[in-house]
Structure 1
Amino acid sequence: MTTPTALDSFLDKWRSRWPEWAVAEVFVPEDRRAATLAWFALLQEFDDILNIAGDPLPADAKLGWWGTELRDWSTHRSRHPLGRLLEPVPAPWSALADALPTLVAARERPADGAAALAALAGYGGAVAAVEASVLGGTPPQAQAIAAQVLATRLAEAGLQAVPQARQPGDADATAARERAQRDWAAELLAAWPAKAGGSPARRMWGAFARHRLGRFAQGHVPQPGRQPLGLLWRAWRAARG
């Protein structure tokens, strides 16, 4: 029996949130699987910083640390376990570091859907540029990345993630709060490019995220990992492009 490593803890955390990947991973070339998992786990770290509940100061300090770490990756130095897999890849790491502070501003409730997407446009573009180096293929669309980040924020933060324009008039009414969140989910789906580009791995992850968001918009509770045959079909279609 092997002892879990620090790297394993980050990878397993991402896998636990995306059990669909157990089905999809077969469509990723074996020699790219480790880097793919590490990259997605890194993005989850940034999602967690964006969606922090309570005092944001520790998360903001962590974000600053990540900025330094990513700049060090540009000179092939790393301290974080994920860097062992990602730092050797020549990528615009410093540009991604420069985009991280926008996550702090993105915690503020936007005026409307357009403002929510615009707040993450720079971050989405920086992620797309690095991802093309890490995963190969063409960069995914920045708006698709922003939409996926906002979908995750909705799942984590609930009504707090809904733009001001869609806030319920009666904030104390449960039905109104739920409807506002479903309406925002539907707006995000409409803004999310159906053909978002990127590597097969990104397309599969995006397909799973879109499916969850669609279920939520329809008033259903997403049940990740259920119906493996459906997951396999969804992954295969997304991998094919």
Structure 2
Amino acid sequence: MTDDSALDSFIDKWRARWPEWAVAEAFVPKEQRAVALAWAALLQELTDAAWGGTDPRPGEAKLGWWAEELQGWAQGARRHPLGAALQRRPAPWVVLAAALPALRDSRERPRDREEAFAALAPVAEAVAAVEAALFAAPDDAAAPAAIGAGLLHARLATSGEAAAPLSVLARAQAGEGATIWAAELLQYWPRRAAVSRPRALWAELAASRLRRGDAARPLPAWSALRAAWRGARRSPGAGA
């Protein structure tokens, strides 16, 4: 497999979960589109490692590998195909590497919504720092909260009820945990953060899925278009 085809395979895996992006990416400046796809695919690799499977040990090992890989990116080296699109970008890869233990530890079920956001705060701050470098995102103290909400949505979409906090399970009937957690997450969804254009689109697509009652189910094309338009309007300083 060539480097290009290997890179495409990771991007295609992300697109399979987010087919709405075929519509939404038209709102991203052309010069940012390839980087946005690679960055989204990288985040998916990291979160899948943290939360996937019933045995945490393979994911912990993979996150350890990724910590070394990201540190290598900062020194001009790369092994993973996604590095072909990202490694040369002057982003704080070491900061992201340092946040991966917090991502690993976030596999533990939180007690409540506040703890769910707090557990991912170091990761969200690192992601915000990288996105500021990749996309010239505005400096906004509210950005990590918006990113944290997106991470919690990603976990809900892939893990279902296993992502729900204990406080949600305590008041849920059997099988209702994911639905109740989706509604609570949407209720407290950050809406005022100044973030990059790609992040604004991802956030609005995720929130729109929650409004429709299923974090994992893709939006119809027209709904995706409306969501992307709303996200684009809310992202300052980036013309499409």
Fold match by TM threshold 0.5: yes
Q: Distance in 2 between matches of 1:225 and 1:113?
A: 25
- How far has the Cα of 1:90 moved from its partner? 0.8
Q: Distance in 2 between matches of 1:10 and 1:71?
A: 20
Q: Distance in 2 between matches of 1:120 and 1:101?
A: 10
What's the counterpart of residue 172 of structure 1? Answer: none
What's the counterpart of residue 232 of structure 1? Answer: 225
Q: Structure 1 residues 110, 240: closer, same or farther in 2, change over 3 A?
A: same
Is contact 2:157–2:216 with CA below 8 Å preserved after alignment?
no
Q: Distance in 1 between matches of 2:227 and 2:53?
A: 33
What's the counterpart of residue 175 of structure 2? Answer: 178
Q: State the secondary structure of the residue aligned to 1:193.
A: coil
Q: Distance in 2 between matches of 1:139 and 1:120?
A: 19
Q: Distance in 1 between matches of 2:78 and 2:135?
A: 19
Q: State the secondary structure of the residue aligned to 1:100.
A: helix
Q: Distance in 1 between matches of 2:215 and 2:190?
A: 23
- How far has the Cα of 1:70 moved from its partner? 0.6
What's the counterpart of residue 82 of structure 1? Answer: 82
Q: After superposition, where does 1:159-198 map in structure 2 within 5 Å?
A: 159-168=161-170, 176-198=173-195
Q: Distance in 2 between matches of 1:234 and 1:147?
A: 16
Q: Which amino acid is the alignment partner of residue 196 of structure 2?
A: S
- How far has the Cα of 1:230 moved from its partner? 2.7
Q: Structure 1 residues 100, 221: closer, same or farther in 2, change over 3 A?
A: closer
Q: Which amino acid is the alignment partner of residue 136 of structure 1?
A: A
Q: Distance in 1 between matches of 2:76 and 2:132?
A: 18
Q: Structure 1 residues 87, 120: closer, same or farther in 2, change over 3 A?
A: same
Q: Distance in 2 between matches of 1:178 and 1:196?
A: 33
What is the root-mean-square deviation of aligned Cα atoms in Å? 2.0
CA deviation string 1:155-212 (max 9, x = no partner): 222222111112146xxxxx81333322211221122211232111111111111111
Q: After superposition, where does 1:83-122 map in structure 2 within 5 Å?
A: 83-122=83-122
Q: Structure 1 residues 134, 3: closer, same or farther in 2, change over 3 A?
A: closer
Q: Distance in 2 between matches of 1:164 and 1:196?
A: 28
- How far has the Cα of 1:42 moved from its partner? 0.5
Q: After superposition, where does 1:1-241 map in structure 2 within 5 Å?
A: 5-139=5-139, 141-168=143-170, 176-216=173-213, 223-226=217-220, 228-241=221-234
Unaligned runs of at least 5 residues, structure 1: 170-174
Q: Structure 1 residues 152, 48: closer, same or farther in 2, change over 3 A?
A: same
- How far has the Cα of 1:4 moved from its partner? 6.9
Q: Which amino acid is the alignment partner of residue 150 of structure 2?
A: Q
Is contact 1:106–1:119 with CA below 8 Å preserved after alignment?
yes
Is contact 2:146–2:190 with CA below 8 Å preserved after alignment?
yes
Q: Structure 1 residues 203, 221: closer, same or farther in 2, change over 3 A?
A: closer
TM-score, normalised by the number of residues in structure 2: 0.89
